[in-house]
């Protein structure tokens, strides 16, 4: 980070062993992920990623899904405390939603942008605040990786081979080095890993 860059850019995503963030059925195919997303390791990993973040970046599809699902969890006293913590954070945090179709955000504390992710992040990094978390939105993570603007990756690796679907790491990315700064293995073989960009 340069002297003008005050904030760390982080990103989280869950992947199968063959590097897919969805299955062969398309963007809504999460069959391979379902058994693991509520595991102890996954919930602890989720808490780890948002605790220092004060801005969330989301693609439109994820924003619609997350902000349709999570706000009621924030008020659900029966919910796991880690789920409630994340839900409250998501409701309250500053949200930037990338979309070429929405003109205004239907959610509180959110704004819609139709601009390259790298440009938006460059501007956010000059402002005061905590981490800028790209919240499970591969459509935003990919261009930031291509521009070498991601400082930390929170990855969950699930012990499944999807056999098809979209990959996070495509050919053509710049060569970069990363340092493993946290690792945890869950009861079902799922792995939570935190990688920091070695600069």
Give the confidence band of 100 by pLDDT, cuts at 50, 70, 90: very high
| The pLDDT value given to residue 4 | 52
Domain CATH for 27: 3.40.430.10
State how far the Cα of 174 lies from the Cα of 35, in Å rounded to an integer: 33
Q: Give the total number of structural domains in the chain.
A: 1
Residue 3 included in any domain:
no
pLDDT digits (tens, 9 = 90+) for 166-179: 999 999 999 999 99
Residue 196 included in any domain:
no
- pTM (whole model) above 0.85: yes
| Closest of 197, 198, 177, 161 to residue 19, by C-alpha | 161
Residue 104 included in any domain:
yes
Residue 63 included in any domain:
yes
**C-alpha distances out from residue 132 to 8, 105, 141, 169, Å:** 6, 19, 12, 20
Residue 44 included in any domain:
yes
pLDDT digits (tens, 9 = 90+) for 53-97: 999 999 998 899 898 999 999 999 999 999 999 999 999 999 999
Q: Which domain holds residue 25?
A: 9-162
Residue 4 included in any domain:
no
State how far the Cα of 56 lies from the Cα of 70, in Å rounded to an integer: 14
Residue 192 included in any domain:
no
| Closest of 4, 29, 18 to residue 122, by C-alpha | 4
| The pLDDT value given to residue 6 | 79
- Average pLDDT on 134-146 reads 96
Sheet containing 131-135, strands listed edge to edge, beginning at the edge strand earlier in sequence: 110-113, 94-98, 53-59, 131-135, 9-16, 152-158, 191-197, 178-185
Residue 72 included in any domain:
yes
């Amino acid at each position: 980070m340069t002297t003008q860059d005050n904030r760390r850019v982080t990103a989280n995503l869950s992947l199968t062993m063959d590097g897919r963030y969805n299955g062969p059925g398309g963007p809504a195919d999460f069959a391979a992920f379902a058994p693991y997303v509520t595991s102890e390791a996954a919930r602890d990993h989720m808490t780890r990623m948002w605790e220092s973040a004060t801005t969330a970046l989301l693609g439109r599809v994820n924003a619609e899904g997350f902000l349709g699902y999570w706000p009621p969890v924030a008020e659900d006293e029966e919910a796991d405390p880690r789920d409630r913590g994340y839900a409250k954070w998501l409701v309250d945090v500053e949200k930037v939603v990338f979309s070429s179709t929405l003109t205004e955000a239907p959610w509180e504390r959110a704004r819609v942008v139709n601009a390259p992710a790298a440009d938006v992040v460059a501007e956010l990094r000059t402002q005061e605040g905590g981490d800028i978390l790209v919240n499970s939105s591969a459509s935003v993570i990919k261009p930031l990786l291509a521009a070498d603007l991601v400082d930390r990756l929170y990855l969950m690796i699930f012990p499944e081979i999807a056999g098809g679907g979209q990959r996070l790491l495509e050919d053509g990315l710049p060569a970069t080095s990363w340092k493993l700064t946290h690792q945890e293995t869950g009861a079902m073989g799922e792995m939570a890993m935190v990688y920091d960009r070695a600069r």
